Amino acid sequence: MKILIAVLILAVIVFVHEMGHFLIARLNGIEVVEFTVGFGPKLFGWTTKGGTKFSIRLILFGAACVFDDLDAQVDDGNTDFASVIANSSFRKANVWSRIATTLAGPFFNLLLAFVLGLFLMNYIDIADTTITDIMQDGAAYEAGIRTGDKIISVNGSRCYLYPEVSTAVELGYGKPLKVVYERDGQKIKAELLPKMNSEYNRFMIGVVFGGQEMPPKSIGGIVKSSYLYVRYMVKMTFSSFRMLFSGQAKVSDIAGPVGAAQIVGDEYESAKSEGALAVVVSMLNIALLLSANIGIVNLFPLPAFDGGKLLFLIYEAIRGKPADSKVEGTIQLIGVGLLLALLVLVMYNDITRLFMG
């Protein structure tokens, strides 16, 4: 059951991503030869009046939006990647249409995260950054912060939800924090030195958020809460990669589909004792996190990612003509190789984590 739920969540996220590419491509008149659900041998399919083939494949995991049979040309032995790219209708389309089509996949992932958030915010309450209690021996109290104050930013990063403050403190690793808080409409600056809490084995500033009964949310409040929650997830994605590149996180911490499935399984086990609704809310929360994460990661300017394609398109928009197709094809090929190497590393991490803990 746990594996099935994990596969379903990842499949839906990838499907929505590819559907974004498909819908915006068609709106811009770009030919889509095939939209396939799953991979492996084709089970059945149909062709629309517009000429797009829709196919359902054996392993119902994810989807793919195929432009101009590029994959088929390669399968047929055409390894002249320059000509394959140059002759695609995607390449011949207006550069702004191609930019919109490329951006659509990540955007639809973020849109999916937002829609999931609209549902979640009906069942969970995430407190803002208003302090409801404070420890008198904590760093915040010593810096002059009191109950009722509202933290506005930490180290220049705007905070709307309490997890943003908690994360900023934790990622500071005990270093001084520059905090801006609000009291009676006035913004006040302070510098805090977090203290190690031996019970929880992490740095804290000695404040409590929430813990009070939240009033019923209006439609506008739900929309705002969903937006702020997705924004927090996006910030977390960037923070994770910043930690990786700065050495604060290890390469072995990177997780892939198997790792995601393990997380889903752990959350499922912890939520099922509280009933079906708790399981649904927990699974949708993970789906929101993964969808936002995949949407942002795909925008990174790396070959084989949507962000890598965007670099070439932006270059073309500025220069007025496309990059050399042979160069682009070679870079994309190298990018695919590096991506496969990364996938091998991720799978190794996943399997190691799964069997060795």
**130: in domain:** yes
Kindly report, residue by residue over 154-206, the tens digit of the pLDDT.
999 999 999 999 989 988 888 999 999 999 999 999 999 999 988 888 899 99
**162: in domain:** yes
Please report the pLDDT score of residue 198 as a whole number.
84
**158: in domain:** yes
**33: in domain:** no
Give the chain's largest Cα–Cα span.
72
Q: What is the DSSP letter of 257?
A: H
Extract the runs of DSSP E, i.e. beta strands, from the chain: 34-47, 53-66, 131-134, 150-154, 157-158, 177-183, 186-192, 195-197, 202-204, 207-209
Please report the pLDDT score of residue 42 as a whole number.
84
List, in sequence order, every residue forming a beta bridge with 203; answer none if it has no partner: 196
Please report the pLDDT score of residue 346 as a whole number.
56
- Could you tell me the residue range of the domain that residue 182 belongs to? 126-213
List the one residue out of 355, 171, 356, 349 whose CA is nearest residue 250. 349
The number of distinct structural domains making up the chain is: 1
> If DSSP codes are grouped into helix, strand and coil, which group holds residue 71?
helix
Question: What is d(CA 73, CA 67) in angstroms, rounded to the nearest whole number?
Answer: 11
pLDDT block averages, 10 residues each, the chain of length 357: 78 92 91 84 84 82 72 50 60 89 95 96 90 93 94 94 90 90 94 89 90 78 94 87 63 56 72 84 91 91 85 89 74 70 58 51
Q: What is the DSSP letter of 143?
A: T
Report the residue count for the chain.
357
**264: in domain:** no
**292: in domain:** no
- Interaxial angle between packed helices 325-356 and 257-272, expressed in degrees from 0 to 180 and rounded to the nearest 10: 40
**196: in domain:** yes
pTM (predicted TM-score):
0.82
CATH number at residue 174: 2.30.42.10
Question: What is d(CA 99, CA 25) in angstroms, rounded to the nearest whole number?
Answer: 10
Please report the pLDDT score of residue 143 as a whole number.
93
DSSP for 83-132, written as a single string: HHHHT-HHHHS-HHHHHHHHHHHHHHHHHHHHHHHHHHTTT----BSBEE
**324: in domain:** no
Question: What is d(CA 152, CA 148) in angstroms, rounded to the nearest whole number?
Answer: 13
Please report the pLDDT score of residue 339 as a whole number.
65
Please report the pLDDT score of residue 347 as a whole number.
57
Kindly report, residue by residue over 274-322, the tens digit of the pLDDT.
888 888 899 999 899 989 999 998 998 887 789 988 998 998 899 888 7
Please report the pLDDT score of residue 74 as a whole number.
47
Please report the pLDDT score of residue 292 as a whole number.
94
